[in-house]
Structure 1
Amino acid sequence: MTATVATTGQQSETQAFEHQTRGRWLDKWEPDNTEFWESGGKKTARKNLIFSVFAENLGFSIWVIWGTVVTSMGLAGFDFLAGLGKGNPTAVSNALLLTSTPTLVGAALRIPYTFAIPKFGGRAFTAFSAAMLLIPTIGLAYFVNQPETPMWVFMVLAALAGVGGGNFSSSMANISFFFPEGKKGAALGINAAGGNLGVAQTQLVLPLLITLGTHIMAKDAAGYRFGITLSVLVWIPFILVATFGALRYMDSIGTAKSDGKSYKLALTNRHTWIMSFLYIGTFGSFIGFSFAFPTLIKANFPDLAKIGWITTLGNLAFLGALVGSFSRPFGGWVSDKVGGAKMTVFVFGGMSVAVALIMAALEMKSFPLYLAAFLVLFILTGIGNGSTYRMIPSIFSAEAKKYASEHGMDISEATASARRQAGAAIGVIGAIGASGGYVLQQALRLSNINFGSMTPAFWAYAGAFLVMAGVTWFFYLRSSFATGRISSLAYANV
């Protein structure tokens, strides 16, 4: 079946696309062609998006699993985490070391995972990346039942859990190939939000399952080990479903190719590094505090253990990741209206105030204020994730248009190059931003070791957020170039 499509006075034949449920290699993929999209391309893209969100959600779930598990391991008989609920400095330091390790590994894997899609295909690599989640889960389920297991073994397992963080980049890169330019923004937003929600669901489900396990067995070390085992093994069936679903139903696009030239250009562009710095403050804070939040609550408010229902719900730590995930699309939407740079300045200023409120809550020993201030901080990180991501394509587009007008280049060619560079820059920025989660947790840990308190680290965060607000203003709001060409631009989908 063929369809004739008019293109600027000429006639060309375009092969209509037939949607299939079973996965396959797609030798031809033209989502920007209306006939191709409507004849079956749309259904195929949505099918792949569904399985991509499912697999990525599990990746985030396993990535963040250590943030919750460490809060119960001391009670399960592991001496290096004993006394965490009483604020033992050594236990707190070890807990933060275990929770920050997956963050670092996940950040490091983001760049190679981005290049894996063009090389191996979205179908095969999604199945592979999902299956890899079995290693840290089965490993943890086994070694948590060996009370003499040294901490270094759990460090290795925590590092292996970092593969879940790399899934984000491969998933986003894959989905970006499936959708037309005008629909990529929404598709990538759904994909990202689906992954981020994995953090919240893990922090909600794991404490419930650990509590269930201790009730089934007993509230002793063996009971806690059983509860942790239960909370880890529950993910195995879902991982198997995600792996099978990707192999059977997802597709690979044969024409999806990596653009090495665009990566080189993006790496030499100063805005890639400026935005990486800003993304450390937004996404780095989101993922870093998400991993550390259960430990921070347990260490700072040990009396919550006396309130059964709060302890069962993980001391409500899941609320942070939940509100941060849902506020991300809002940040992008508002940035479309008022400008990403303006929104980002507001976010960093608000984050600094939120940190001051957290310090006040600790001084007053008020858990309600502490929780409320952290929730405000998480909401702002989510909004900031959306606003900074929206800034990236507009910055590259503005620079390309300015360069084209000054050098007599074709504007459409310059715009196409800008889109490719922005896509490459997003991969780099995402990886560096995620590494900020590791830096944040290590700052907390080192502050606790050297000063006997995390207060210096928190005040350092407040100062850093103000610096980031100043950097945003200086580069993207202060100059006539920024005001005229960047902050007021409509944000294109890249």
Structure 2
Amino acid sequence: MTAPSTAPAASRGGRWIEHWDPENEAFWNETGEKVARRNLFFSVLSEHIGFSIWTVWSVMVLFMGPEYGLTPADKFFLVSMATLVGAIVRIPYTFAVAIFGGRNWTIASASLLLIPTVAAFVVMEPGTSFNTFLICAMLAGIGGGNFASSMTNINAFFPLRKKGWALGLNAGGGNIGVPVVQLIGLAVIGASGGPRVLLGIYIPFIVIAAVLAALYMDNISSVKNDTGAAKDSVKEAHTWIMSFLYIGTFGSFIGYSFAFGLVLQTQFGRTPLESAYVTFIGPLLGSLIRPLGGALADKYGGAKITLWNYVAMAGATGIIVIASMQKSLPLFTTAFIVLFVLTGLGNGSTFKMIPGIFQAKALAKGLEGEEAAAYGRRLSGASMGIIGAVGALGGLGINLAFRQSFLSVGSGTGAFIGFLAFYGLCFAVTWAVYLRKSTSNATATEAATDSKPQLSYAEV
């Protein structure tokens, strides 16, 4: 049995692992798990800071009082553009792992976070033009790309039986960057500090994350630059179906994370400090529970967890609509936090479905063993960037929906009604595509063809 070597590849510098076979249990138990967990830890650290920088403008807008001359619509537009850029850059970040190596790209992507942080630090003061703030908010969007490259990298390190837990922990640890930056913002506001203090806190941590990635992470040589995988994943219907479902879970999480404080300020008249006291709770709980969503999906099947999670999300949203119409702040806040928790669960279960779906397709093609595992890794890794990017665009939709709702009716009620309908549609798609045939009375012919892979989809 060959141990994972970290000797440099012949043609490329850096720490390159030449042999990696996580599906081999003996290999995994002897050396693989230790290496994978080490890379997971430092991947989480970099992704965590990336999320904080991506969502820092959800806190910055709380600092920006009347002296900045911005309307609520202006502020929603700022956070919307940060969301948009974060979604778009996820696609190139996904394939950067195959081009440069997971370790090498983690170093680069962490270092790039200095650009939006330093830029905002320089210009953050009253009198700065809206367009300048807009450019800085858009630059902060690059932090959203770290998720895609991190998930693609970690997907290659872990065996299929561990992917739900590993991807959930990786993503959840990154997602926690949202409430952490909001908590730090709360402390800064409470101490009467300015937005530059918040930005200044993050600059040294960005440097530390890049240095630790250089010291302790690895590249996997077998993760080649495979443009064919990208083309194949684009052609695969499941890539777009899962993108749609991920809009409902992660799009909700990131969109609400950006908007929660602004909604409390605009609809319920909360002060920046009062908003900050509450804003972090939902993203924190949603982040912490994401690994549980992945673990439940490992045990019961991601499709089943995702299906019933959408039912619960629709129920929580219905309560929010009632609270919004009755102007009940306690009920509104409680239901919103519950909705955050459910988005976290759904994030974990939907992302666990991705490698399972492509593994099921491999088995349906008649592939076995390592050949089937390699097929699943190839397509699931490529599709994750697309799914993550489209899912993040859901956050843009949520912020634009809030902006329009406040412009039209002066509250977020109209937006929430739209979200409620969307969750119902996500439920229908999950059932129709991944669960319906597993409960139908298939004919013998169908059992020999379509039913076999469809039955396995219920367990993904």
* TM-score, length of structure 2 as denominator length: 0.88
C-alpha contact (below 8 Å) 1:59/1:133 kept by paired residues: yes
Q: Does 1:69 align with 2:69?
A: no
The CA deviation at 1:227 is 1.6
Partner SS for 1:468 = helix
For 2:69, the aligned partner's letter is D
C-alpha contact (below 8 Å) 2:160/2:356 kept by paired residues: no
For 1:46, the aligned partner's letter is R
Counterparts of 2:3 and 2:346, CA distance in 1: 42
Which residue of structure 2 lines up, in the alignment, with residue 475 of structure 1? 433
Equivalent position to 1:123, from 103, 115, 126:
103
Q: Does 1:347 align with 2:327?
A: no
Partner SS for 2:176 = helix
Which residue of structure 2 lines up, in the alignment, with residue 53 of structure 1? 44
C-alpha contact (below 8 Å) 1:393/1:491 kept by paired residues: no
For 1:461, the aligned partner's letter is F
The CA deviation at 1:345 is 2.2
Unpaired segments of 5 or more residues in structure 2?
443-449
C-alpha contact (below 8 Å) 1:17/1:36 kept by paired residues: no
The CA deviation at 1:423 is 2.5
The CA deviation at 1:199 is 0.6
Equivalent position to 1:203, from 163, 182, 188:
182
Q: Does 1:228 align with 2:210?
A: no
Counterparts of 1:66 and 1:487, CA distance in 2: 44
Equivalent position to 2:168, from 189, 199, 204:
189
Which residue of structure 1 lines up, in the alignment, with residue 335 of structure 2? 373
C-alpha contact (below 8 Å) 2:402/2:412 kept by paired residues: yes
Counterparts of 2:164 and 2:297, CA distance in 1: 13
Equivalent position to 2:386, from 428, 431, 438:
428
Which residue of structure 2 lines up, in the alignment, with residue 437 of structure 1? 395
Please list, as runs of the form range in 1=range in 2, the aligned pairs for 1:453-464 lying within 5 A after superposition: 453-464=411-422
Which residue of structure 2 lines up, in the alignment, with residue 218 of structure 1? none
The CA deviation at 1:129 is 1.1
Which residue of structure 1 lines up, in the alignment, with residue 408 of structure 2? 450
Counterparts of 2:315 and 2:4, CA distance in 1: 55
C-alpha contact (below 8 Å) 2:175/2:283 kept by paired residues: yes
Partner SS for 2:375 = helix
For 1:49, the aligned partner's letter is L
Equivalent position to 1:300, from 253, 263, 267:
267
Structure 2 CA distance for partners of 1:441 and 1:156, relative to 1, 3 Å: same
Unpaired segments of 5 or more residues in structure 1?
6-13, 81-90, 215-225
Task: Spell out, residue by residue over 1:120-170, the C-alpha distance to the aligned partner (whole angstroms, 9 max, x if none).
Answer: 22333212211111121122122113x211111011000000111001111
Structure 2 CA distance for partners of 1:253 and 1:79, relative to 1, 3 Å: same
The CA deviation at 1:287 is 0.6
Structure 2 CA distance for partners of 1:96 and 1:262, relative to 1, 3 Å: same
Equivalent position to 2:73, from 93, 108, 125:
93
Which residue of structure 1 lines up, in the alignment, with residue 113 of structure 2? 133
Partner SS for 1:148 = coil
For 1:121, the aligned partner's letter is G
Counterparts of 2:119 and 2:197, CA distance in 1: 13
Task: Spell out, residue by residue over 1:184-224, the C-alpha distance to the aligned partner (whole angstroms, 9 max, x if none).
Answer: 44333221111011111111111211221x2xxxxxxxxxx
Counterparts of 1:345 and 1:200, CA distance in 2: 27
Structure 2 CA distance for partners of 1:471 and 1:36, relative to 1, 3 Å: closer
For 1:186, the aligned partner's letter is W
Counterparts of 2:34 and 2:365, CA distance in 1: 39
The CA deviation at 1:38 is 5.8
The CA deviation at 1:62 is 0.7
For 1:140, the aligned partner's letter is A
Structure 2 CA distance for partners of 1:35 and 1:18, relative to 1, 3 Å: farther
Task: Spell out, residue by residue over 1:452-473, the C-alpha distance to the aligned partner (whole angstroms, 9 max, x if none).
Answer: 4332221111111111111212
Q: Does 1:28 align with 2:18?
A: yes
The CA deviation at 1:369 is 0.7
Structure 2 CA distance for partners of 1:370 and 1:192, relative to 1, 3 Å: same
Structure 2 CA distance for partners of 1:37 and 1:17, relative to 1, 3 Å: farther
Larger Rg, first or second structure (1 or 2): 1
The CA deviation at 1:68 is 1.2
Task: Spell out, residue by residue over 1:256-281, the C-alpha distance to the aligned partner (whole angstroms, 9 max, x if none).
Answer: 21332232222112221111111111
The CA deviation at 1:450 is 3.3
Equivalent position to 1:397, from 346, 359, 364:
359
For 2:247, the aligned partner's letter is I
Structure 2 CA distance for partners of 1:398 and 1:428, relative to 1, 3 Å: same
Task: Spell out, residue by residue over 1:310-358, the C-alpha distance to the aligned partner (whole angstroms, 9 max, x if none).
Answer: 9267131101101111222222232334432232222222222211211
For 1:250, the aligned partner's letter is M
Which residue of structure 1 lines up, in the alignment, with residue 447 of structure 2? none
Task: Spell out, residue by residue over 1:205-252, the C-alpha distance to the aligned partner (whole angstroms, 9 max, x if none).
Answer: 11211221x2xxxxxxxxxxx521111111111111112222333333
Which residue of structure 2 lines up, in the alignment, with residue 284 of structure 1? 251
Counterparts of 1:290 and 1:183, CA distance in 2: 28
Q: Does 1:268 align with 2:226?
A: no
Counterparts of 2:30 and 2:305, CA distance in 1: 39
Identity of paired residues, percent?
Answer: 45
Structure 2 CA distance for partners of 1:486 and 1:188, relative to 1, 3 Å: same
Partner SS for 1:360 = helix
Which residue of structure 1 lines up, in the alignment, with residue 206 of structure 2? 239
Which residue of structure 1 lines up, in the alignment, with residue 445 of structure 2? none
